[in-house]
Amino acid sequence: MRTSQLMERRADPQPQGMANRLRRRQRGVTIIELVIGLVVVSVLLALGIPSFKSWMINSQIRNASEAVLNGIQLARANAIQQNRLMVFDLRNGATPVNWRVYLDGNSASGPDIQKWTADEGAKNTVLTPGAGSGTIVTFNGLGQRVANSDGSAMLTQIGVTSSASSSAEIRSLNVVIGASGSIKMCDPDPVLVAHGDPRAC
């Protein structure tokens, strides 16, 4: 009898007491550990959400600025390609804000070459023509900005900002159309302008 008990003890390298202690250690997390984990996650989210919101708004501003820039470039390229007057029409009073490119004279009846609305990735953006600037720009066959056939003021600059926030972290952008037809996107930040930064307007 003793020999069989000795053999069982030798076959089992861990005594029964140690196995019970290991089982007790392998339980789940305690309530205190869970609460500390939730507090850490909450603090990280509270710190990160404002930055994420600013990033989203700035992304929408950038999307709208690039869409406007691309639309104006499309109107200019089509004017050169077809050697006809081509119009970029900003409809900033509409909801949502939108623009369209069409052949001059086809404002009401003709087909649009391209349209864009702020619902396409720039929902909260506000597009504002510059001071004394109209909402229409016309390009001729040489790609130059020319007088609009309806006699309205020419669109020379578009300010792009957001209606969602006026925080200091929001970066507004401008799209500027030169007399020669050149188009650029720039940052109206006074600090950049004062330092002669190439991104400045």
Could you tell me if 170 and 191 are in contact, meaning their C-beta atoms sit under 8 angstroms apart? no
Does position 51 have pLDDT exceeding 70, yes or no?
Answer: yes
What is the spatial distance between Cα 78 and Cα 82, in angstroms, rounded to a whole number?
6
Could you tell me if 182 and 76 are in contact, meaning their C-beta atoms sit under 8 angstroms apart? no
pLDDT band with cut points at 50, 70 and 90 for residue 167: low
- 29-33, 43-47, 59-63, 122-126: which has the highest mean pLDDT? 59-63
Place of tokens 């076959």: 11
**For the chain, how many helices (H) and strands (E)?**
4, 9
Average pLDDT of the residues of the chain: 81
pLDDT tens track for 96-114 = 788 889 988 766 666 888 8
pLDDT band with cut points at 50, 70 and 90 for residue 71: very high
Number of neighbours of residue 172 by Cβ within 10 angstroms: 18
Q: Tell me the Ramachandran region of residue 148: left when phi exceeds 0, alpha when psi lies from -120 to 50, beta otherwise.
A: beta
pLDDT band with cut points at 50, 70 and 90 for residue 8: low
**Which one-letter amino acid corresponds to residue 184?**
K
Q: Could you tell me which residue, 15 or 35, shows the higher pLDDT?
A: 35
CATH topology of domain 31-194: minor pseudopilin epsh fold (3.55.40)
